[in-house]
Structure 1
Amino acid sequence: METESPTSNTTTETQDTVITSSATGNETATATTTSGSTKKRQRTIGEMFGPSSTTSKAPAAKRAKLEVTSTNKSVVSTSSKPSGPAVASISEFSLTKFKESLNPEERKLLLLECEAMDESWLALLEKEIRKPYFLRLKTFLWQEGIHDLGDIKVPLRCYPHPKDIYAWSNTPVGKVKVVIIGQDPYHNVGQAHGLCFSVPKGVKVPPSLVNIYSELKKEYPDFSPPKHGNLQAWVDDGVMLLNSCLTVRANTAASHSKRGWEDFTDKVVDLLDRHGGADLPSDSKEPGAARGLVWLAWGAFAIKRVSRLDKKRHLILQSPHPSPLSAHRGFLGNGHFKKANEWLEQRYGPEAKVDWCHLP
């Protein structure tokens, strides 16, 4: 879990320190293809799920295509093109109609989702967030002081700030190239901002991220670790930084775990498995067909979360957690950043590579 203090080099990421695993596995996203009348043009996932220019709550920074040179041997394996159910109907999602369909209690509990979740993801998760388990979770969070953007209690009792809880959703599903799985948010003041392993500028770089920078330096010697720990540039380049639990009580690690967030983010993983990367450049004759992602699973918890994915389509790279308690048991030297780019270049072309070193 991500519970590091900005003023300490210790960490409580203990359950993620016991796994040593090969970094050469492959996994899939159950692909989806759009289908319909021959009178209509098939649309890409990006066209269907891309963020609305008028409804996006927190538009991400401009996404630049930045190349990184990679010379290692490719680890790509070939597989058949994916297929899946038609998803064109989701493109008809209307936030207004969704709000109108909610009963008064749902309208109160789900107002934050309507305000803070990117509409491209809300379209995919509208049924999930109305399930009983999620409404129970939201009732609990309401009691914890997490309401909506118009009702923020100061000082915050829980992190991250409500506006950042769904920060991961600002990358449309079809644009995601890489997924990094975290556990729960940092629980000290000012650290969490909705992206796993990342902290806002001005906050001391946490120990795990120091080790991530060290590994990046090993793989790309010209990389100069920044003085900050904000990984938003990776997000803008198609890297999803997803915690399994999206909130935490101040100063209390794992305090919101096993309340429902894990079930919800399992659904997000499932959607990435089926639709992730579908709008990346492709020679597929099936518009909207997802062709796989890179998953970086660091530590026992993350490895378990990706264990059910299809290894014939995705590239799944596993290693111990970057925590100081385990980084020297296999995280440092894992080569994951270069391996990810080799696979992306083989699968989607050179423009799909992530510029890991660009952290302005």
Structure 2
Amino acid sequence: MSAAAVYLEDLPVTTGSKKASPPADTAVYLEDINVSKKEKKPAPPAAENTNANKRQRTLFDMQFGPDDGAKRQKLAPRFTAGSSSSNITPTSSPPKNASFIKGRALGTQRLNSIPFSLSAFVDSLPTDTRALLALECDTMGKSWLKLLADEIAQPYFVDLKRFLYAEGVKGAGDQAPPRIYPQPKDIYAWSNTPLGRVKVVILGQDPYPGAGQAHGYSFSVPPGVAVPASLQNIYTELRSEYPSSFTRPGHGHLAGWVSQGVLLLNAVLTVRANAPNSHAEKGWEAFTDRVLRIVDAYGGANLGRAGADGKPDETGTGFGRGVVVLAWGAKAAKRVAAAGLDKPGSKHLILKSAHPSPRSADSGFFGNGHFKKANEWLETRYGPGGGVDWCNV
């Protein structure tokens, strides 16, 4: 029996730089170290896009000259950073058959072998688009960014970023808008869970709209913030499933789940203060549908299987072997369907129920048994210890 493979994206690293340390609950991964360039920061984008008709070079285009046709054809599969075709301009969800990375079907190349150059991607963007996408390039986990790079360069996403820019959402280092949540630096906090380590997806609607509540994870709130009613109901269900081991915590910070491979993703990633769904139908749904399609292809790609003795029996395959998706409420179920995760023969376990909101928890959330069902399936798929310690909040 060979030792488990070690993947670069899963290795915590330290550097000698003076960069501020991450929160204690968030590991730093080699692929997630920001790459800074010694160049002048681009100016904020103008209201009108003067480069609307400018052809954007792909990473693949940049590798070859116009006369290298044969070489391009031979090596095309190697240059696969990005996602769907550049002529797709969805208003809510991209077509279900758009699961390609530069002509290669998503999920046909091992996750860790997909190349990506952040600097090349940034250089390929028009100046105004580069300014708009600085937040994504600076804060998104690189295991996600390399598969979402072309998606965030799509016209619909650039339009979404213009809308957010007008709302005050700019770069990670810029002043946070006073009435838009979460803070820009936290919008992609969910991507702190490396793609290859994802076991479970808990899909929320949009961020909490109260001051100080949203911090980039569905259903979670930062330490020191009162536990919202929906999360209180989640704790109640946990208590009913694990009566002897779950003690209701005095906080709502779900870092313990994140560190175990639970992806806490909202369908819409920003919201106006005290106005739920205020940023719905602006383009976020198309983006997070794409995130779910990537989970379909690569979720759990670096998870091996443990044997009966609990020791590694198989290494990760580099391809997604299936995850559990907890879809609470009709809107979450709609996103799962839009992304095609519940298609016939799906390799995933999709668990649906009512939302934990006080308005609906009594209509099917309480008693759904989702936490135990998730662990039973995960241990069948990934071996002993393959589940999530839900009591570790």
Shorter-chain TM-score above 0.5: yes
Deviation (angstroms), 1:96:
1.9
> What CA distance in whole angstroms lies between the structure 2 residues aligned with 1:158 and 1:295?
28
Deviation (angstroms), 1:312:
3.4
Name the structure 2 match of 1:344.
378
Residue from 210, 215, 235 that aligns with 1:213? 235
Name the structure 2 match of 1:15.
none
Displaced runs of 4 or more, over 4 A: 48-60, 87-90, 283-286
Deviation (angstroms), 1:287:
2.6
Residue from 261, 268, 276 that aligns with 2:291? 268
Q: Read off the aligned partner of 1:337 and give its amino acid letter.
A: F
Q: Read off the aligned partner of 1:187 and give its amino acid letter.
A: P
> What CA distance in whole angstroms lies between the structure 2 residues aligned with 1:88 and 1:205?
36
- Asked if the contact 1:51/1:118 (under 8 Å) is kept, the reply is no
For the structure 1 residues 104 and 204, does the alpha-carbon distance in structure 2 shift closer, same or farther, using more than 3 Å as the test? same
- Asked if the contact 1:233/1:358 (under 8 Å) is kept, the reply is yes
- Asked if the contact 1:249/1:255 (under 8 Å) is kept, the reply is yes
For the structure 1 residues 121 and 148, does the alpha-carbon distance in structure 2 shift closer, same or farther, using more than 3 Å as the test? same
Deviation (angstroms), 1:95:
1.7
- Asked if the contact 1:281/1:348 (under 8 Å) is kept, the reply is yes
1:51-62 alignment, distance < 5 Å: 53=13, 61=26
For the structure 1 residues 143 and 84, does the alpha-carbon distance in structure 2 shift closer, same or farther, using more than 3 Å as the test? closer
> What CA distance in whole angstroms lies between the structure 1 residues aligned with 2:146 and 2:122?
12
- Asked if the contact 2:295/2:320 (under 8 Å) is kept, the reply is no
> What CA distance in whole angstroms lies between the structure 1 residues aligned with 2:11 and 2:124?
21
> What CA distance in whole angstroms lies between the structure 2 residues aligned with 1:111 and 1:137?
14
- Asked if the contact 1:276/1:293 (under 8 Å) is kept, the reply is yes
Deviation (angstroms), 1:285:
8.6
- Say whether 1:233 aligns with 2:233: no
Deviation (angstroms), 1:84:
4.1
Q: Highest CA radius of gyration, 1 or 2?
A: 2
> What CA distance in whole angstroms lies between the structure 1 residues aligned with 2:198 and 2:121?
25
> What CA distance in whole angstroms lies between the structure 2 residues aligned with 1:233 and 1:130?
33
For the structure 1 residues 48 and 93, does the alpha-carbon distance in structure 2 shift closer, same or farther, using more than 3 Å as the test? farther
For the structure 1 residues 116 and 179, does the alpha-carbon distance in structure 2 shift closer, same or farther, using more than 3 Å as the test? same
- Say whether 1:96 aligns with 2:61: no
Unmatched tracts of structure 2, length 5 or more: 29-105, 306-312
Deviation (angstroms), 1:252:
1.6
For the structure 1 residues 58 and 115, does the alpha-carbon distance in structure 2 shift closer, same or farther, using more than 3 Å as the test? farther
Partner SS, residue 263 of structure 2: strand
Deviation (angstroms), 1:143:
0.3
When normalised by structure 2's length, the TM-score is: 0.70
Partner SS, residue 287 of structure 2: helix
Deviation (angstroms), 1:62:
5.0
Partner SS, residue 326 of structure 2: strand
Deviation (angstroms), 1:289:
2.8
Name the structure 1 match of 2:266.
243
1:124-159: CA deviation from partner (whole Å, max 9, x where unpaired): 1000000000000000000000000222146x2200
> What CA distance in whole angstroms lies between the structure 1 residues aligned with 2:220 and 2:331?
18
Q: How many residues align?
A: 296
Unmatched tracts of structure 1, length 5 or more: 1-42, 64-82
- Asked if the contact 2:7/2:112 (under 8 Å) is kept, the reply is no
Deviation (angstroms), 1:51:
7.5
Q: Read off the aligned partner of 1:325 and give its amino acid letter.
A: R
Name the structure 1 match of 2:333.
303
Deviation (angstroms), 1:203:
1.1
- Asked if the contact 2:111/2:301 (under 8 Å) is kept, the reply is no
Name the structure 1 match of 2:352.
318
1:170-189 alignment, distance < 5 Å: 170-189=192-211
- Say whether 1:105 aligns with 2:105: no
Name the structure 2 match of 1:8.
none
> What CA distance in whole angstroms lies between the structure 2 residues aligned with 1:115 and 1:355?
31
> What CA distance in whole angstroms lies between the structure 2 residues aligned with 1:125 and 1:51?
22
Partner SS, residue 126 of structure 1: helix
- Say whether 1:195 aligns with 2:155: no
> What CA distance in whole angstroms lies between the structure 2 residues aligned with 1:147 and 1:51?
30
Name the structure 2 match of 1:75.
none
Name the structure 2 match of 1:149.
172
Name the structure 2 match of 1:332.
366
Deviation (angstroms), 1:216:
0.2
**Of 232-241 and 278-287, the range deviating more from structure 2:** 278-287
1:178-212: CA deviation from partner (whole Å, max 9, x where unpaired): 00000111111000000011111111111111110
Identity of aligned residues (%): 55
Q: Read off the aligned partner of 2:367 and give its amino acid letter.
A: G
Name the structure 1 match of 2:75.
none
- Asked if the contact 1:106/1:135 (under 8 Å) is kept, the reply is yes
- Asked if the contact 1:200/1:230 (under 8 Å) is kept, the reply is yes
When normalised by structure 1's length, the TM-score is: 0.76
- Asked if the contact 1:149/1:162 (under 8 Å) is kept, the reply is yes
1:35-64: CA deviation from partner (whole Å, max 9, x where unpaired): xxxxxxxx98x837558857999575359x
Q: Read off the aligned partner of 1:212 and give its amino acid letter.
A: I
- Say whether 1:353 aligns with 2:387: yes
> What CA distance in whole angstroms lies between the structure 1 residues aligned with 2:373 and 2:381?
12
Q: Read off the aligned partner of 2:140 and give its amino acid letter.
A: M
- Asked if the contact 1:248/1:256 (under 8 Å) is kept, the reply is yes
Name the structure 1 match of 2:95.
none
> What CA distance in whole angstroms lies between the structure 2 residues aligned with 1:204 and 1:95?
38
- Asked if the contact 2:111/2:318 (under 8 Å) is kept, the reply is no
